C-alpha cells in the first residue's frame, strides 16, 4: 500500500477538539488506501512551558540530558491522545515515542541530528493491520540510550526523515497557514500564495527568516527528493491545496524572484582596524563559533597600512556573547583591533529566486527600488539565487513592500 506522512504542528493539536479534527483528517487519507505515519508536535505553548520549568528547576546550568527528557514529553502526550481519538473512530492506530521506533540520533542533546530510522517495527505492524502510526516528533534516542531532542521546529525534520526512510508518496506539513507566500502577508497585503516552489528557493527562504518550515527539514527533503506539501489544518482540503515544495524540474515556469524574506532583529558588528594578515579571520570567527554565535553576512574592507575593518551580522540577542568572545580573544593576544562597534537596530531583507541564475539586473532593480524609498544599504551579500541586504530596522516593512512591488510578486 502507498504510504503518506502527515505532520501537525502545535496550533493544529492545541486542544482535544483540534486533535479530534486532526483525527478526521487522517481518517480521510486512510479511506483513500494509505498507510499513514502521523508526526505530531506538542500542544501549542506546552514546549515553552516545559522549557520554563527546566529553567526554574535546573537554573542556567541545567543538565542537557534531563532537559531533553522533560521537554520531549509534550509530544508524547499529543501522540497518545491522537492515537486514542483514531481508535475511537474505528481506525487501528498506535502511538510511538522516538526511542520505540527507534529514531536513532547523535548525542548532541537539544540539537541532535537523525542518523537512521529502521523500518522493521513499522513494516511489521502495518503488515499486521495497523493503519496509522502516530509518532512523537522532535525526539529520538542517542547511542547511549538517552532521549534526545532535535531543536525547536524539529518535528518538521522528523516528518521528512520518516518520509525518506519509508519511501512515502508525499509529506504533508499541516500548520496554521495555508501555504508558502511570496512574503509575510502581515507585512504586505499583496502577498500571494505559491502553488509550487523549488527546494532551493524554500531552503533559502527558510534560512533567511521565513518561518513556515524548519531549515533542516527542507535540507533533508531536497537531499532525498521528498515532496513536501505545506497546507492549513483549519481549511477544507483538496488535492491541489497548499504549496508543493519540489524539484526545480517539476515547475513548468517560475518568476525570476520567488519571494522576499526578512529577519527583523539583526545586529551589525564591526571590528575597527584589525591586523590584515593570514589567519586573522580564523582568529575572529573561531572564538565566535565556540561561543555559539550565529554569524551570517561577513564583509572585509580594503586593507590600508596593514589594517582593515571586519563587519559581520548576527542575531541581536547574541551581541553581548559576541562582544565577550572577541574581547577575550584580544586579551589572549589572538587578535588586535582598535575598536568594536555594534549596531543593534538593523534588519536583513532578502530576495530569492532560481530565475536569478539566468536573468541579469535583479540586483540593480533591488537597489534602485530601495533607493527610491530613501533606504540606505549597510551590507550586501549575494549567492546564485539570493541577494541580502542589511538596512535600518525602521525601514524593514517599507523595504519588503517596495521589493514585492518592483518584482511584481502579486502576479502569478
Task: Detail the residues annotated as belonging to a binding site for substrate.
Answer: 47, 75
**Burial class of residue 257, CB neighbours in 10 A (0-12, 13-18, 19+):** buried
Compute the half-sphere exposure of residue 275: CA atoms within 13 Å on the CB side of its CA: 12
Nearest to 386 by CA among 358, 405, 363, 361: 363
Name the H helices within 120-257: 120-127, 154-166, 199-207, 215-224
Can you point out the beta strands (E) in 247-297?
259-275
- Listing DSSP states for 366-403 in one string gives HHHHHHHTTPPP-EEEEETTEEEEEEEGGGHHHHHHHH
Work out the angle at residue 108's Cα, subtended by the Cα atoms of residues 132 and 150, and round it to the nearest 5 degrees: 35
Cβ–Cβ under 8 Å, residues 182 and 160? no
What values do phi and psi take at 325, rounded to 5? -65, -45
Give the SS3 label for residue 328: helix
Annotated binding site for ATP: 7-10, 175-176, 181, 186, 211-212
Annotated binding site: 7-10, 47, 75, 175-176, 181, 186, 211-212
Which strands make up the sheet holding 147-149, listed edge to edge?
Answer: 114-116, 104-105, 139-141, 147-149
In this structure, what C-alpha cell is assigned to residue 387? 541577494
Cis upstream peptide for 102 (omega within 30°): yes
Nearest to 153 by CA among 234, 241, 243, 216: 216
Nearest to 80 by CA among 139, 119, 38, 114: 38
Which strands make up the sheet holding 379-383, listed edge to edge?
Answer: 298-300, 307-315, 259-275, 339-352, 386-392, 379-383
Q: How far apart are CA 228 and CA 244, in angstroms?
A: 6
Q: How far apart are CA 358 and CA 363, in angstroms?
A: 13
Amino acid at each position: 500500500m502507498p504510504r503518506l506522512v502527515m505532520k501537525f504542528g502545535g496550533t493544529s493539536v492545541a486542544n482535544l477538539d483540534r486533535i479530534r479534527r486532526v483525527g478526521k483528517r487522517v481518517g480521510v487519507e486512510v479511506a483513500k488506501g494509505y498507510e499513514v505515519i502521523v508526526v505530531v508536535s506538542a500542544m501549542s505553548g506546552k514546549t515553552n512551558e516545559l522549557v520554563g520549568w527546566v529553567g526554574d528547576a535546573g537554573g542556567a546550568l541545567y543538565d542537557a540530558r534531563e532537559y531533553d527528557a522533560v521537554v520531549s514529553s509534550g509530544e508524547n502526550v499529543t501522540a497518545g491522545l491522537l492515537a486514542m481519538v483514531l481508535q475511537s473512530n474505528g481506525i487501528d492506530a498506535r502511538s510511538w515515542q522516538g526511542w520505540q521506533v527507534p529514531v536513532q540520533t547523535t548525542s548532541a542533546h537539544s540539537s541532535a541530528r537523525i542518523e537512521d530510522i529502521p523500518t522493521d517495527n513499522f513494516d511489521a505492524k502495518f503488515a499486521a493491520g495497523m493503519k496509522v502510526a502516530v509518532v512523537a516528533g522532535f525526539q529520538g534516542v542517542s547511542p547511549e540510550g538517552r532521549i534526545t531532542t532535535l531543536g525547536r521546529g524539529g518535528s518538521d525534520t522528523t516528518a521528512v526523515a520518516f518520509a525518506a526512510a519509508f519511501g512515502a508518496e508525499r509529506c504533508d506539513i499541516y500548520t496554521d497557514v495555508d501555504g508558502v507566500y511570496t512574503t509575510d502577508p502581515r507585512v504586505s497585503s499583496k502577498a500571494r500564495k505559491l502553488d509550487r516552489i523549488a527546494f532551493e528557493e524554500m531552503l533559502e527562504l527558510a534560512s533567511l527568516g521565513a518561518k513556515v518550515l524548519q531549515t533542516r527539514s527542507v535540507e533533508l527533503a531536497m537531499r532525498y527528493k521528498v515532496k513536501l506539501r505545506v497546507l492549513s489544518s483549519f481549511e477544507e482540503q483538496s488535492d491541489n491545496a497548499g504549496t508543493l515544495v519540489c524539484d526545480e524540474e517539476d515547475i513548468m515556469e517560475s518568476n525570476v524572484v520567488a519571494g522576499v524574506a526578512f529577519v527583523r532583529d539583526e545586529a551589525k558588528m564591526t571590528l575597527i582596524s584589525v591586523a590584515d594578515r593570514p589567519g586573522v579571520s580564523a582568529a575572529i570567527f573561531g572564538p565566535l563559533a565556540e561561543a555559539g554565535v550565529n554569524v551570517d553576512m561577513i564583509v572585509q574592507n580594503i586593507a590600508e597600512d596593514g589594517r582593515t575593518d571586519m563587519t559581520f551580522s548576527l542575531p541581536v540577542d547574541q551581541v553581548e556573547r559576541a562582544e565577550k568572545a572577541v574581547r577575550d580573544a584580544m586579551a589572549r593576544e589572538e587578535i588586535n583591533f582598535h575598536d568594536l562597534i555594534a549596531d543593534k537596530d538593523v534588519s536583513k531583507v532578502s530576495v530569492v529566486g532560481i530565475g536569478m541564475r539566468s536573468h541579469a539586473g535583479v540586483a540593480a532593480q533591488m537597489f534602485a527600488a530601495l533607493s527610491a524609498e530613501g533606504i540606505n544599504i549597510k551590507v550586501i551579500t549575494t549567492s546564485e539565487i539570493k541577494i541580502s541586504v542589511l538596512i535600518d530596522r525602521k525601514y524593514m516593512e517599507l523595504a519588503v513592500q517596495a521589493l514585492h512591488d518592483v518584482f511584481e510578486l502579486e502576479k502569478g
